[in-house]
Amino acid sequence: MNKKKLLIILLLGLLFIGGLAGGYLYFSKISSRAMPASEERVEALPKTEDLISLKIYHPVGNRLQIEEKRVQSRTTQISIAQSVVEEFLKGPVGSQVSELPKGTKLLGIYRDADRILYIDLSEEFRRNFQGDALSEYLVLKGLYDSLTSNLDDVEDVKILIDGREIETLGGHFYLSYPLKDMVFYATNKLQNDTKNNEN
Amino acid sequence: MMKRAYSKVKIVFFFCLVLLITTVPLSAQKKTDLSLKFSKQEGLLRIVLEAEEAFITKTKAINSPSQIKLEFPGPFNLMSHKDLPFKVGATEKSLVINLEEKGEVKLLRLSNPARLVFDIQKGQKQAILILPNLFVFDAGHGGYDFGITSGDTKEKDITLGLVKDLDTALSKKGKKVYLTRKVDQYLSLVDRIKFVNQKNPEVFISFHSSMSEDFVIHTANFRDEGSDEMVDLYSLSSRQRRFLKKSKALSDSIGKAIKDEFQKDIIYREIPIPILNSAGAPAVLIEFPSLRFVSYDQPMKERLINSILNGIAAYGQ
């Protein structure tokens, strides 16, 4: 009698485990069908051919450091300019201390009939700038060089702050005029700064 | 029994307390060893004061042809020879050296070991400064434009203090000095340039701070190619072209004088700064070491002003 009871319990147990295993397999198949395959998700990211390379000139110490950044391909010149300014404002990769004014936001980019590109930056660009004449020059030249080296059809670059013209960024150079005539000075010459070392 | 032990603990505690009260002020008033040495050589007397670096760097020195006054950051223990060729008077934190003979006193601050070196050239007459007659000085920044800041110290205040002191020093010598701003106000670059060109000075200097520990002296810079003589003659942004040689001579003279005084390298930079490019006068922009590295107290300002005056005088000759 006892043996019979034991056999029945064992059978019931086996049936229960079998049911559980079957149920698990059935539901796991359904959920895997509902989730997109990981390969499909990767395909949602831009392919290598959808990326473009931008040359960004970052002010570092007393020179401009060129950095190549790969960003998603853009179709219009304005959207490329937007990427250039955004990458420029991020500062160089891996740099702990950025020489660019903190918290600056790009508010807009416009181009007029004379092919002058207007870069409208937030007030933080002026308010948070701390630097001497050379630092200011490098910030302006870095932005100008980054834009003109990545865009084909730009004659000059002018910076606006909060949609308005302001006279200067840090009290040394003009912002009230387009930048080209001011940033002609080659920064590689700065490496030859005469340092009086005679003793 | 317990009472006895308690009273013993009380005595020990009281003793410790007394010890603490007496030793804390003693240790707080720890004196720094200050060694005073001298040497003499053909009319040159050299006085050397040597101590810990922190002590020496915070020491303020004011000198005249017959006296050297030193103010130290704390009490000191003077160690010197008995027979000195000058008289020394000391208080807790200051020292006065009265020279027996007047002379030209030059101060050098040197390190490793930290020391102050005074060179006194005896019997030499104070150099007569031959200076130009008309000056314009520009204190960089102002108003809401603070320039470089460090804590509560702002570049706009340091530059204003310097030009005011220069004004005082030159006015005493009968020279005409104009300042682009005399108070803490914002002044546009265009207004500064207009002011300079209206006054037509013999020397124009704009004062700013650098971001580094160095003195930087800027002169104007122009695009090499495509210059049109007629355009340059009338263009405001090219007015400096005719004065470039003089500006470079001024830059060299001031740089040399600053180097002699501070024993520091000078960086000379040619860069198209609007206020220089548009100035119709011999013009330089001096950036003094950042206020983040140097404290611009009165002795420091005096040294800077004296060296600039010496530089201008050398340029004038």
Give the pLDDT confidence of B256-298 residue by residue, as tens digits: 999 999 988 899 999 999 999 999 999 999 999 998 899 999 8
A130 neighbourhood in chain B, CB within 8 Å = 148-149
What CA–CA distance (Å, rounded) separates B41 from A193? 38
- Write down the mean pLDDT value for chain B: 86
Give the largest CA-CA distance in chain B: 111
Q: How many CB pairs under 8 A join A and B?
A: 75
Does an H or E element contain A3, and which?
A: helix A2-34
Mean pLDDT along residues A155-174: 95
A172 neighbourhood in chain B, CB within 8 Å = 140, 208, 273-275
Mean pLDDT along residues B227-249: 74
Q: Which two tokens stand for residue B58?
A: 């915070």
Mean pLDDT along residues B63-81: 86
Q: What is the DSSP string of A26-91?
A: HHHHHHHHHSPPHHHHHHHSPPGGGEEEEEEEEEETTEEEEEEEEEE--SSHHHHHHHHHHHHHH-
Burial of A67 (0-12, 13-18, 19+ CB in 10 A): buried
Nearest CA in chain A to B258: A196
Helix axis angle, B298-316 to B155-172, nearest 10° = 50
User: CB–CB of B272 and A184 under 8 A?
Assistant: yes
What CA–CA distance (Å, rounded) separates B236 from A130? 28
B190 neighbourhood in chain A, CB within 8 Å = 167
Band (pLDDT 50/70/90 cuts) for residue B197 is very high
Q: Around Cβ B92, how many Cβ atoms within 10 Å?
A: 10
Q: Around Cβ B75, how many Cβ atoms within 10 Å?
A: 13
SS3 A24: helix
What CA–CA distance (Å, rounded) separates B268 from A76? 43
- Write down the mean pLDDT value for chain A: 83
- In the DSSP assignment, the letter for residue B142 is B
Among A133, A171, A196, beta carbon nearest to B271 = A133
What CA–CA distance (Å, rounded) separates B15 from B278? 77
Q: Which two tokens stand for residue B207?
A: 């004062």
Band (pLDDT 50/70/90 cuts) for residue A36 is very low
User: CB–CB of B221 and A185 under 8 A?
Assistant: yes
- What is the per-residue pLDDT for A135? 94
What CA–CA distance (Å, rounded) separates B221 from B223? 7
Band (pLDDT 50/70/90 cuts) for residue B312 is very high
Sequence-ordered list of residues with C-beta below 8 angstroms from that of B209, at least 6 positions apart, any chain: A132, B140, B147, B148, B155, B158, B159, B287, B288, B289, B290, B291
Q: How far is B30 from chain A (nearest CA, A)?
A: 38
| For chain B, percent of residues with pLDDT exceeding 70 | 85
User: CB–CB of B265 and A195 under 8 A?
Assistant: yes
